[in-house]
């Protein structure tokens, strides 16, 4: 389904994020009254990435954290080789998917594939390939590690926090503009999986600052409709005709709840895991949170295998627990009351994706369309959670070209 595209919106200031939460603990230089600092601390040259023809730097800066205070953050800046076009290189702010539930070292800047260990551990992400496509097309790429991840992180990773994911991108773009004068004032966002979820939160926060032109959003297999995913995986497991499929469904159901409980616990330390899950799943969480994604999934997989149908995991009403219900309502665009977007959006989804299910993604896309969102939604036959990146590449590049040309 394709829908008409709307006008551009103003979003970012070139050096500072507007103060939305009353932060004033750091000095503000050359900022308007009422702004909070995103301060570029330093830059570090990074080694070349095979297949990516770009200059690579790691930016050390601050961002507005979920606690309402500036926190340390790191962002990769990749600029094409050679001379920029008139007006500078347009900016693609790119956000990675789930590389970990909570381990700060599982960050793009800490791995040569720019994917926090996904490829190294068995999930070929194609993240570096996609970034190379963008730089080859003449875009500068801003790729944040995310709040709580990366070498400078000093606070926990607030997994699935939509505002944190969005502000990680915003802060990265602001820091990049401070570090590199040859960047354009026009920018778009692209994200995959949980990064696809994260980019869906950028436009609503664009009014925090002014000065740059936000031109659109690309979400690849965005991780939304969490409660519905957990329910579907659980139902599929119960209906499975063989033991392997039954185990897979149960394990994936538990994985959804473990991720959400991890994110909620960071933003609300008073949250008790026992209110939404049994002791077997709760026992996996300390180790689960300390690992990169593939090993973290393996922890739950092993625990479910050990107990089988006797596994005491998510409670039937887990998503109705008041804190969890509020967390999902605030952070999952599929269920957030009144959620909408006004700038052009492209969502791409594979129908062979075992992690983000096409049927649920299509329901989300239909809801956005019904609400008047200027959405282009494309489903790719046979594409899975990672192959969608290459399958949709031409459509993503075409969408970006058209938005930057407006």
42 belongs to a structural domain: yes
Do 317 and 392 lie in a common domain? Answer: no
Q: What is the pLDDT of residue 53?
A: 95
Q: Give the contacts of 139 (CB within 8 A, at least 6 positions apart).
A: 80, 89, 90, 91, 92, 400
60 belongs to a structural domain: yes
Q: CA torsion angle for 203, 206, 208, 212 (degrees, to 10)?
A: 170
Give mean pLDDT, residues 20-30. Answer: 27
Q: Residues 199-244: pLDDT tens digits?
A: 999 998 977 645 899 999 999 999 999 999 999 999 999 999 999 9
Residues 205/174, Cβ–Cβ less than 8 Å: no
Do 40 and 172 lie in a common domain? Answer: yes
Dihedral sign for Cα atoms in the order 372, 333, 132, 294: negative
Q: What is the pLDDT of residue 17?
A: 28
Give the number of domains in the chain.
Answer: 2
| 209 half-sphere exposure, CB direction, 13 A CA radius | 26
268 belongs to a structural domain: yes
Q: Residues 321-334: pLDDT tens digits?
A: 999 999 999 999 99
3 belongs to a structural domain: no
Per DSSP, helices labelled H in 86-180 are 127-136, 162-179
Do 83 and 115 lie in a common domain? Answer: yes
Do 68 and 116 lie in a common domain? Answer: yes
Residues 226/255, Cβ–Cβ less than 8 Å: no
Residues 260/324, Cβ–Cβ less than 8 Å: yes
Do 108 and 212 lie in a common domain? Answer: yes
Q: How far is CA 344 from CA 5, 183, 217, 284, 298, in A?
A: 5, 22, 6, 41, 38
Q: What is the pLDDT of residue 327?
A: 98
1 belongs to a structural domain: no
Dihedral sign for Cα atoms in the order 230, 232, 238, 244: negative
Give mean pLDDT, residues 351-363. Answer: 98
241 exposure class (CB count in 10 Å sphere: 0-12, 13-18, 19+): exposed
Boundary residue ending a domain (292, 313, 329): 329
75 exposure class (CB count in 10 Å sphere: 0-12, 13-18, 19+): buried
Residues 91/76, Cβ–Cβ less than 8 Å: no
4 belongs to a structural domain: no
Percent over 70 (pLDDT), the chain: 90
Q: What is the pLDDT of residue 102?
A: 98
Q: Residues 364-373: pLDDT tens digits?
A: 999 999 999 9
Boundary residue ending a domain (296, 329, 362): 329
pLDDT band at 19 (very low <50, low <70, confident <90, very high): very low
Dihedral sign for Cα atoms in the order 62, 65, 68, 71: negative
Residues 135/57, Cβ–Cβ less than 8 Å: no
Do 51 and 182 lie in a common domain? Answer: yes
Position 36 pLDDT exceeds 90: no
122 belongs to a structural domain: yes
Residues 69/61, Cβ–Cβ less than 8 Å: no
Do 219 and 230 lie in a common domain? Answer: no
Q: Residues 50-60: pLDDT tens digits?
A: 999 999 999 99
Position 9 pLDDT exceeds 70: no
Give mean pLDDT, residues 179-196. Answer: 97
Residue 294: which domain range? Answer: 226-329
**89: CATH:** 3.40.50.1820
Q: Which of 15, 27, 11, 12 is nearest to 70 (CA)?
A: 27
Q: Residues 107-148: pLDDT tens digits?
A: 999 999 999 999 999 999 999 999 999 999 999 999 999 999
Do 126 and 269 lie in a common domain? Answer: no
Give mean pLDDT, residues 259-282. Answer: 98
Do 57 and 184 lie in a common domain? Answer: yes
Give mean pLDDT, residues 73-93. Answer: 97
* Residues forming beta bridges with residue 56, ordered by sequence position: 78
Task: At 271, list the tokens.
Answer: 């949250």
Boundary residue ending a domain (309, 329, 349): 329
2 belongs to a structural domain: no
Do 344 and 206 lie in a common domain? Answer: yes
- Residue whose entry in the numeric block shows the structure tokens 């616990």: 265
Give mean pLDDT, residues 184-201. Answer: 97
Position 23 pLDDT exceeds 70: no
Position 29 pLDDT exceeds 60: no
Do 253 and 312 lie in a common domain? Answer: yes
Angle at 20 between CA 16 and CA 26, to 5 degrees: 50
Position 89 pLDDT exceeds 60: yes
User: Cα 111 vs. chain centroid, distance in angstroms?
Assistant: 17
Do 281 and 156 lie in a common domain? Answer: no
Q: What is the pLDDT of residue 211?
A: 87
Position 77 pLDDT exceeds 80: yes
- Residue whose entry in the numeric block shows the structure tokens 């693609």: 92
Q: What is the pLDDT of residue 38?
A: 87
Mean model confidence pLDDT for the chain:
90
Position 176 pLDDT exceeds 80: yes
């Amino acid at each position: 389904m394709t829908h008409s595209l709307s006008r551009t919106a103003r979003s970012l200031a070139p050096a500072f994020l507007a103060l939305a939460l009353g932060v004033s603990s750091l000095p503000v230089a050359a900022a308007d009254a009422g702004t909070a600092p995103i301060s570029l601390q330093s830059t570090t040259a990074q080694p070349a990435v095979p297949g990516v023809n770009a200059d690579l730097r790691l930016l050390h800066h601050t961002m507005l954290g979920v606690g309402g205070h500036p926190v340390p953050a790191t962002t990769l800046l990749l600029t094409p080789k050679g001379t920029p076009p008139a007006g500078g290189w347009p900016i693609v702010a790119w956000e990675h998917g789930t590389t970990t539930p909570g381990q700060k070292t599982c960050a793009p800047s800490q791995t040569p594939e720019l994917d926090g260990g996904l490829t190294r551990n068995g999930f070929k992400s194609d993240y570096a390939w996609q970034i190379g496509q963008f730089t080859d097309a003449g875009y500068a790429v801003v790729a944040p590690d995310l709040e709580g991840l990366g070498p400078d992180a000093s606070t926990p990773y607030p997994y699935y926090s939509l505002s944190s994911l969005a502000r990680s991108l915003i802060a990265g773009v602001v820091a990049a503009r401070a570090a590199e004068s040859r960047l354009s004032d026009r920018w778009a966002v692209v994200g995959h999986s949980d990064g696809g979820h994260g980019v869906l939160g950028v436009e609503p926060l664009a009014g925090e600052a002014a000065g740059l032109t936000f031109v659109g959003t690309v979400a690849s297999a965005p991780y939304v409709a969490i409660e519905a995913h957990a329910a579907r995986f659980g139902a599929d497991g119960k209906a499975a005709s063989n033991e392997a499929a039954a185990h897979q469904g149960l394990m994936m159901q538990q994985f959804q709840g473990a991720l959400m409980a991890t994110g909620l616990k960071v933003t609300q330390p008073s949250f008790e895991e026992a209110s939404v899950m049994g002791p077997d799943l709760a026992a996996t969480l300390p180790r689960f949170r300390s690992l990169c994604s593939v090993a973290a999934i393996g922890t739950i997989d092993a625990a479910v295998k050990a107990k089988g149908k006797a596994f005491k995991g998510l409670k039937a009403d887990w998503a109705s627990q008041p804190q969890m219900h509020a967390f999902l309502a605030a952070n999952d665009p599929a269920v957030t009351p009144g959620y909408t977007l006004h700038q052009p959006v492209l969502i791409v989804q594979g129908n062979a994706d075992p992690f983000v299910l096409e049927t649920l993604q299509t329901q989300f896309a239909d809801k956005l369309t019904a609400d008047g969102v200027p959405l282009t939604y494309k489903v790719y036959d046979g594409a899975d959670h990672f192959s969608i990146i290459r399958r949709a590449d031409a459509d993503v590049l075409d969408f970006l070209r058209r938005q930057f040309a407006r």
